[in-house]
Amino acid sequence: MSRTVTYSPAYTLVPTYECFNRCTYCNFRAEPLQSPWLTLPQAEKRLLQLQTQGVIEILILSGEVHPQSQRRKAWFQRIYELCELALNLGFLPHTNVGPLSFEEMAELKQVNVSMGLMLEQLTPTLLKTVHRHSPSKVPMLRLQQLKWAGELKIPFTTGLLLGIGESEADWIETLEAIARIHSCYNHIQEVILQPHSPGNKQSWHGEVFDATKMPQVIAIARSILPDEIALQIPPNLVAQPDILLACLEAGATDLGGIGPQDEVNPDYPHLQHQALTEILAAAGWQLVKRLPVYPQYDNWLPQKLQTAVKHWRVGNIY
C-alpha cells in the first residue's frame, strides 16, 4: 500500500526583486530601484496561460521595500492587486513578502488562502555575519509576524534555513519557538526545512548544507513540532533520491510548491514531475496534489475564499 507525500502545483509571481536587505547568501535580490515592478497586464498574460496547465497555487514572492519608504504603499497595493487578480482567474494565492504590519497582514488575509514568512534562525549571532545588512532579519521582528498571523487566524507557513552559520542547538531553539506560538493559535500548517544551496549571485562563501544531515534535522523537528504541522522539504535542494527518501522516512510529509522555477534558488531546477513520481513510487510513496491551505483551516477564510477553495476540494484535491 502506497504512503502519501503532498505537493502544491504552483507558479511564482514576483512583484519586484528589489530588496533593502542584503543577506549575503541571497540569490534573489536586486538593488532598490533596479528591478522593474511586475505590472497587472504582464501578470494577467502569464496567469491566463496557466489556466490549462494544472496550476493551483500562485505564490506572490517579493523583495522588500523599506517600511518607511514613500513607495511602500504602492508596493503593498501591487501585491494586493496581484492576489486579487489570481483569485479572479481561479487560482489560490499564497503571499510571502517579508515582514508586514498588522494592518497589512489583515488586508492581505482578504485575498490569500494562506501566507508565509521564514524564521530562518533565531540566533542573534547571524546579525553579525550573514544578516549584518538585513534589518528585517531581526529574530524578534519575525517572531512577531507568527504571533500576528495567529491573532488574525491566517493559516501560516514558516521554516528554517539550514547551514548559514547556526548550530544544532539553534535549530532546536527555533523549532521550539514555532511550537510555542502554534500552541497558542494552532495556525502553523507547514514548517519548511531548507538547506542552504550556494548560487551564482551570493557574496557569502558558505558551503552547501550537508544533505546527509537532513533526515537528522527532520527527526529533531518531528520530535518538537506537533503532528498536525506538515514538515516540508524542497526536492530540488534535496535531489539525491536516497536522501530524499530517507527524509520521508524520518517524517517529512510535503514537497512544497513545485513549479517551472524556484525563484529563491534559480540554480536548482525541479525534477520533472514524472521523474519525481517514479522515484517516490519505487519506494512505495504516492505523490498527491494539495491546496495551499490545509483542510482544517478552510473555515478560517473569508467567505469568498471559502467558495474558491471549495471549488478545488470538489476535485478531491487535499
pLDDT tens digits, one per residue of 81-90 = 999 999 999 9
Between CA 189 and CA 154 the distance in angstroms is: 10
Q: What is the pLDDT of residue 317?
A: 64
Distance CA 97, CA 14 (A): 9
Going from the N-terminus, what domains does the chain have, and what CATH number goes with each?
Answer: 3-295 (3.20.20.70)
Grid cell for residue 312: 478545488
Whether the model clears a pTM of 0.85, i.e. scores above it, the answer is yes
Cα(130)–Cα(125) distance, rounded to whole angstroms?
A: 9
Q: How far apart are CA 67 and CA 98, in angstroms?
A: 11
Please answer whether residues 60 and 93 qualify as being in contact, where contact means their C-beta atoms are separated by less than 8 angstroms. Answer: yes
C-alpha closest to that of 291 among 307, 312, 276: 312
Distance CA 192, CA 235 (A): 12
- Taking the CB of residue 168, how many other CB atoms lie within 10 A of it? 11
Distance, CA of 143 to CA of 130 (rounded, Å): 19
Which secondary-structure segment (H or E) carries 9? strand 3-13
DSSP letter (8 states) at residue 37: P
Determine the Cα–Cα distance for residues 312 and 318; give it in Å rounded to an integer: 9
Mind listing the pLDDT tens digit for each residue in 44-66? Answer: 999 999 999 999 999 999 999 99
- Give the cell for residue 282: 519505487
Per-residue pLDDT at 315 exceeds 80 = no
pLDDT digits (tens, 9 = 90+) for 254-302: 999 998 877 888 778 888 888 899 999 999 999 999 999 999 999 999 9
How buried is 21 (Cβ within 10 angstroms: 0-12 exposed, 13-18 middle, 19+ buried)?
middle
Per-residue pLDDT reduced to its tens digit, 220-259: 999 999 999 999 999 999 989 999 999 999 999 999 999 8
Query: Is 208 within 8 Å of 194 (Cβ atoms)?
Result: no
CA distance 222 to 233: 13
CA distance 249 to 3: 10
Q: What's the pLDDT tens digit per position in 164-197?
A: 999 999 999 999 999 999 999 999 999 999 999 8
d(CA 38, CA 24): 25
Chain centroid to Cα 305, Å, comes to: 20
